[in-house]
Structure formats: C-alpha cells, structure tokens
Copies of this chain bind each other. A is one copy, B any other.
Amino acid sequence: MTSTRIQPATTAPGRALGPDRGPGLDPGPHSALDPAAIRAAVDQRLQDFLDTKRRTAGDPLLASLTDHVRAFVMTGGKRVRPLLCVVGWHAAQGYGDMGPVITTAASLELFHAFALIHDDLMDGSDLRRGRPTVHRALAATHPGHDEPTPAERFGVNGAVLVGDLVMVWSDEMLHTSGLHHRQLAAVRPLLDAMRTEVMIGQYRDLLTTGRPTENLESALTVIRYKTAKYTVERPLHIGAAVAGADRHLLDTCTAYAIPIGEAFQLRDDLLGVFGDPRRTGKSTLDDLREGKATVLMAHALRRSTPRQAQTLRTLVGDPGLDEGGAAVVRELLRVTGAADRVEAMIRARVDLARQTLDEAAFPDEVKSLLDTFATTAALRTS
C-alpha cells in the first residue's frame, strides 16, 4: 500500500461565516484542508483499486465487468461522502499518515456506486451522470438481442450482479485500507448502521413512490435515512471514528449532519420541480412523473382544497405528464404555500446546523469548511 500524505488540518485562522464563499466544499487554495486534493487522492485510490482488479481479473468476464464498474465510478460524481469522511477525520483531530482514511473514504464512494447501480435499475432510469446507466449499458452490449435471453432482462440481471460485486469490493477496499484493527473495529458498527439505514430509506421510498400523501412524517423519514444519515452523518462519523473520536464528538457531527442533510434533500426536491434543467442537468418532469412522495408534495396536499388535492393526485405520478401539467402542479405548489414552507424548513435547518458549528470543538478550518458546505447544500441552484 502506497502512503498518501496530505497535510492534516491545522488551526488556520477562522474564516468569516457567510454564503458568498464560492462553489462546492472548497474553502480556497491556501487551505491545508484542501477538498480538491482530497478528491484527487480519493480518485487515485479508486483508480488504483479498479486497475488492480482489472489487471488481476484472470477471467475475461470479470475483466469486462470491471470495465463497466470503472466506467461508472470514474466518470462523474461529486465525491461528497469521501470528502465528508476525511473532514470527519480532521474534525476529530486525526493526525499522521492519511493513506488509510483516504482509502476508507474511497470505499464509501464504491459503496455509493453500488447503491446508485441498484437504484437506477429499480427506477428503470436510462441515464446517470449523462451516460447510460449500468443496466442499459449492459443491455446494449448483449450479443443476442433476438436470442432467448432478451437484452433488457440481461441488462437488469447483470446490473443486479454488478451492483452486488461493487458492494463486495467496497468492503474489500475498506478492510485492505491499512486501518489498524482497532480503527476497523470502531468503523464497522457505523458502517453497518449506514448500510442498513440507506436500505430502509430506499425501501420506504419504494413503498411510497407513485403515491404522494399528506404524510409529512413519512416523507421526512425517507430523507433522513436516504440523505441526511447516509450522505452526511455517517461519512463524518466514519472519518471521525478512524481518528478515534469519542461519543460526544460523534453526537456533535450528528447535530450538524442531520439538519444539513435534510436541507440538502429539501433543496434537491425543490430543484427537481422548479430548477433550471440547464443548471441541474435534470429534467423537471422526472420527479413529478415518478410521483416522488416528497416533503414538498406532503405540504401541498395538506394545504390544498379538496379540488386542488384531486388535481395534484391526478397529475403527480402520471408517467405521461407533459409541460402543461407540470406548470399546473408548480402553480399549486406555489399557491398552497408549500414551496415557501419548504424554503422555511431549509432556513431553519441551516440556522440549527450553524449554531451547532459555532459551539463545536472542531478545528476552525473544519468549521469553516462545514459552514461552506451548509450554504452550498441549502442554497445551490444546481
């Protein structure tokens, strides 16, 4: 295992908290906690791991599966979870060789690839990151479109397997990361929790999609499991655990992560309906056609007249919804005050997370970076 040395966080001068600090997680080029460097180091680990898998595949089928995995993992993705994992390590004052925590962080990205591959096939999505999803890519490579195994079914089944394989590999990557066995023992329960939580979130999503209801509690539970815990809390926890964090520090991470994770998803839901497709890279019809049971929709249904509610129920979840129908839905989301309610929820959550940061015993540089992340997550337009 080659060792990656990245300067650990030092107590750099605190930065003013505020929304105008440029894009993404990056606190600036002069910082020791440099997101771009972390991202590059994570990508390098992923590349190395998958290159080794490809080189040692032996079986030509495994080689071709590895190519699919590599194409998927290495083209796109913001590496949010790996970044937060490394930030968690800094938050808990991690020091020394960063190699193991970088690899641990990379293994979370591999786990995420698994989750996306299975998610895409469950949703029947055609595109991910502007490229064909894995089940579509596999279907296209199937030699016998007119043979007894139809290409489409082969694609779906192959994607189940590719997903399974990637999950197994994420695990392999973690326990060959060079973590000390005591670090590994601290990480495993958090990882187990994360993996079970994201699946509960997915399952609840599965149960409710296509049938938006007034049930705010249920919609909030989905985003808590699918986004807040999975994307923000657990990555921070896992990085912090590698650095030997105690319960108190993990709780502080939670107090920051849950509101920010929720805000992130609430913004996502708003962008999914009101966003600019040229900026989000995502159609504003997909969520509505799919009938995602979002908090936004729950608010709208709670504040609708019976007639408005009926209109919403007819249009949302209709796979054939067109721009005209979507405009009607958007108008209802506005006049019922649902969109404003969600904006208010986002603001309240960002305030809460900032308060936590103010009081946290994190290095200033970590606070600054997490503050930027909070702003970006909540106020982004893409």
A residues with CB within 8 A of B: 59, 61-62, 65, 114, 118, 121-122, 144, 147-149, 154, 157-158, 160-161, 163-165, 167-169, 171-172, 175, 181, 184-185, 188, 192, 195-196, 199-200, 202-204, 206-207, 209-211, 221, 291, 317
Contacts and interface: CB of A to CB of B under 8 A. Distances in A.
A160 B61 contact: no
Contacts of A167: 164, 167-168
Number of identical protomers? 2
Nearest to A143: B207
Contacts of A210: 147-149
A211 B144 contact: yes
Nearest to A148: B210
A295 B363 CA distance: 64
A34 to B, nearest CB: 32
A161 B206 contact: yes
B149 A168 contact: no
A371 B242 CA distance: 47
16 contacts: A59-B200, A65-B200, A118-B160, A118-B164, A122-B157, A148-B211, A149-B209, A149-B210, A158-B206, A164-B164, A165-B199, A168-B192, A169-B196, A172-B192, A181-B184, A181-B185
Contacts of A207: 61, 154
A199 B291 contact: no
A188 to B, nearest CB: 5
A211 B145 CA distance: 12
Nearest to A64: B203
B195 A148 contact: no
A251 to B, nearest CB: 18
Nearest to A62: B200
A45 B206 CA distance: 31
Contacts of A196: 62, 165, 168-169
A300 to B, nearest CB: 18
A211 B147 contact: yes
A48 to B, nearest CB: 17
A195 B196 CA distance: 19
Contacts of A184: 181
A335 to B, nearest CB: 25
A245 B291 CA distance: 55
A145 to B, nearest CB: 13
A181 to B, nearest CB: 4
A161 B210 CA distance: 18
Contacts of A171: 171, 192
Contacts of A61: 200, 203-204, 207
Given A168-B196, A196-B165, A158 B62 contact: no
A210 B143 CA distance: 13
Contacts of A154: 206-207
Contacts of A221: 59
Contacts of A121: 160
A110 to B, nearest CB: 13
B157 A206 contact: yes
A171 to B, nearest CB: 6
Nearest to A154: B206
Nearest to A111: B168
Contact of A181 (B62, B165, B181, B202): B181
A160 B160 contact: yes
